[in-house]
Amino acid sequence: MAKIARLPESVANKISAGEVVQRPASVVKELLENSIDAGASRITLSIKDAGKELIRIVDNGTGMLRADALLCVERFATSKITGVDDLDSLHTLGFRGEALPSISSVSHFELKTRTAKETLGLKLRYEGGTLAEESGVQGEQGTTITVRNLFYNVPARRKFLKSNATEYSHIYEIVKSFSLAYPEIEWRMYSEDEELFHLKSPNILERLNVFYGDDFAGSMIELTEENDYLSIKGFLGKPAMQKRKKLDQYFFVNRRLVQNRMLSQAVQQAYGDLLVERQAPFVLLFLTIDPSRIDVNVHPAKLEIKFDDERNVRNMFYPVIKRAIQLHDFAPDLAVTDRVNAHTTSYQSNSRRAFDFPDIPHRISTTNDLYRSYREGSQSFASEPGESSRYQAEMFTSNQSSAGVAAPEPELRDAAAQFSPMLLSPIYSDEDVVPNPKGLEPKIWQLHNKYLICQIKTGLMIIDQHVAHERVLYERAVDVMNHSVPNSQQLLFPQKVEFRAWEYELFEEIREDLYRLGFNLRLFGNKTIMIEGVPQDVKPGTEVTILQDMIAEYQDNASKLKLEKRDNLAKSYSCRNAIMAGQKLSLEEMRSLIDNLFATREPYSCPHGRPVIIKLSLDQLDRMFGRK
- What is the CATH number for 164? 3.30.565.10
138 within a domain of the structure (yes/no)? yes
Give the model's pLDDT for residue 20.
72
Q: Exposure of 463 by Cβ count < 10 A (0-12 exposed, 13-18 middle, 19+ buried)? A: buried
Q: Roughly what angle, to the nearest 10 degrees, separates helices 164-181 and 24-37? A: 20
347 within a domain of the structure (yes/no)? no
Give the model's pLDDT for residue 88.
58
3-state secondary structure of 153: coil
158 within a domain of the structure (yes/no)? yes
333 within a domain of the structure (yes/no)? no
Give the range of the structural domain holding residue 259, as residue numbers without chain letter. 211-326
Tell me how far CA of residue 370 lies from CA of 197, 374, 377, 429, 599, in angstroms: 57, 6, 10, 16, 9
H or E stretch covering 48: strand 42-48
| Strand arrangement, sheet containing 249-253 | 220-226, 230-237, 283-289, 249-253, 256-258
Q: What is the 3-state secondary structure (H, E, C) of 320-387?
A: HHHHHHHCCCCCCCHHHHHHHHHHHCCCCCCCCHHHCCCCCCCCCCCCHHHHHHHHHHHHHHCCCHHH
Which CATH number covers residue 561? 3.30.1370.100
Domain end position, chosen among 202, 220, 244: 202
- Judge if 50 and 166 occupy the same domain: yes
**Cα-to-chain-centroid distance, residue 602:** 26
- Judge if 447 and 570 occupy the same domain: no
- Judge if 73 and 176 occupy the same domain: yes
Report d(CA 307, CA 111) in Å as an integer. 36
Contact between 171 and 50 (Cβ < 8 Å): yes
- Going by the DSSP 8-state scheme, the letter that residue 217 receives in this structure is G
pTM for the whole structure = 0.61
pLDDT under 50: residue ranges of the chain: 331-353, 357-366, 369-370, 373, 377, 379-435, 437-438
Q: Residue 494: count other Cβ atoms within 10 Å of its Cβ.
A: 16
**Cα-to-chain-centroid distance, residue 383:** 53
109 within a domain of the structure (yes/no)? yes
Which string of b and e fits 567-577 if b means at least 16 CB within 10 Å? bbbbbbbbbbb
Which CATH number covers residue 277? 3.30.230.10
Spell out where 180-293 has E strands: 186-191, 194-199, 220-226, 230-237, 249-253, 256-258, 283-289
Contact between 342 and 413 (Cβ < 8 Å): no
135 within a domain of the structure (yes/no)? yes
- Judge if 556 and 573 occupy the same domain: yes
Question: Contacts by 180-184 with C-beta closer than 8 Å and gap 24+?
Answer: 180/204, 180/207, 180/208, 180/211, 180/250, 180/284, 181/250, 181/252, 181/255, 181/257, 181/286, 182/36, 182/255, 183/207, 184/41
- Judge if 194 and 220 occupy the same domain: no
- Judge if 43 and 154 occupy the same domain: yes
3-state secondary structure of 289: strand
Closest CA to 455 of 374, 372, 368: 374
H or E stretch covering 176: helix 164-181
- Judge if 497 and 446 occupy the same domain: no
Triad 187, 189, 193: Cα angle to 5°: 145
Domain end position, chosen among 151, 167, 202: 202
Q: State the amino acid at position 127 in one-letter form.
A: E
Closest CA to 179 of 147, 146, 212: 212
- Judge if 280 and 264 occupy the same domain: yes
Q: Roughly what angle, to the nearest 10 degrees, separates helices 310-326 and 261-271? A: 30
DSSP string covering 177-192: HHHHH-TTSEEEEEET
3-state secondary structure of 308: coil
Which CATH number covers residue 457? 3.30.1540.20
Helices (H) and strands (E) in the chain, counts: 18, 24
Report d(CA 439, CA 386) in Å as an integer. 9
61 within a domain of the structure (yes/no)? yes
- Judge if 215 and 264 occupy the same domain: yes
478 within a domain of the structure (yes/no)? no
- Judge if 416 and 434 occupy the same domain: yes
Give the model's pLDDT for residue 215.
78
Give the model's pLDDT for residue 87.
54
- Judge if 488 and 420 occupy the same domain: no
Give the model's pLDDT for residue 428.
33
Domain count for the chain: 4
- Judge if 462 and 530 occupy the same domain: no
Q: Residue 339: count other Cβ atoms within 10 Å of its Cβ.
A: 15
